[in-house]
Amino acid sequence: MKRRTLLSWSSGKDSAWTLYQLQADPEIDLRGLFCTVNSKFNRVAMHAVRLELLEQQAEHLGLPLQVIEIPYPCSNEQYAEIMAHFVEGAKDEKIEQFAFGDLFLEDIRSYREEKLAGTGITPVFPIWGIPTDRLAQEMVSSGMRAVITCVDPKQLPEEFIGREYNQEFLDDLPAGVDPCGENGEFHSFVFAGPMFRQPIQIALGEIVHRDGFIFIDVTKNNP
């Protein structure tokens, strides 16, 4: 019997690759995506992706999207309360699993497991433990395309903002930077790939420095 599953969606490459694995799993009944959005800026938290692009991703994936608004700034207590309310709603929809695109950070996995313990919803991690150098190569070679929307300048130079996540990007990464950015070195927006019905046409705009990070504005390109 298929397991009713929601995917935690960030708009980036790891979420997209997790989705690709779920799409290929005959035991998964994928019911949709959920994503936290900063209510002040109306953008995906950390990735800084506009809500309209997030909605277009869902449309091109053919999946329902549930947007979870969080305040800015948002305390850990506020975040936990908002997510607990969302979990209750998911239980009402008979959701059995939440899938996450985490790779190797044990503290994040433990946090998710702790928060879902006793709820009746099981956390699953389809790409957990895959070596990130191998995973990066698989994503790039699959035809998945993503743009770097955020960098942490303490870990990665500003020159990487706005670049496409491809073999050249991987080859240029400084030593010590995880090729999947799992340590927060960078975040991305996926606009094409085998998980999509069709690509999203995008354009790059203003670069902004905020809260110690560097972001680039990504918009829909309407020819």
151 and 92 in a common domain: no
pTM for the model stands at 0.95
Instruction: Give 57-80 pLDDT, tens digit per residue.
Output: 999 999 999 999 998 888 889 999
In sequence order, the β-bridge partners of residue 203 are 219
9 and 118 in a common domain: yes
| pLDDT value of position 38 | 87
155 and 101 in a common domain: no
Does residue 223 register a pLDDT over 80? Answer: no
Q: Which of these three, 124, 157, 184, is where a domain ends?
A: 124
In sequence order, the β-bridge partners of residue 123 are 98
Domain enclosing residue 159, as ranges: 144-220
Residue 130 lies in a domain: no
Instruction: Give 123-136 pLDDT, tens digit per residue.
Output: 999 999 999 999 99
Q: Give the 3-state secondary structure percentages of the chain, helix then strand then coil, rounded to 5.
A: 30, 30, 40
SS (H, E, C) 22-41: HHCCCCEEEEEEEEEEECCC
Distance CA 75, CA 7 (A): 23
Q: How many domains does the chain have?
A: 2
113 and 157 in a common domain: no
Question: Domain containing 109 — which CATH number?
Answer: 3.40.50.620
Q: Which of these three, 91, 124, 157, is where a domain ends?
A: 124
The one-character DSSP state at 50 is B
Residue 99 lies in a domain: yes
| pLDDT value of position 207 | 97
| pLDDT value of position 47 | 67
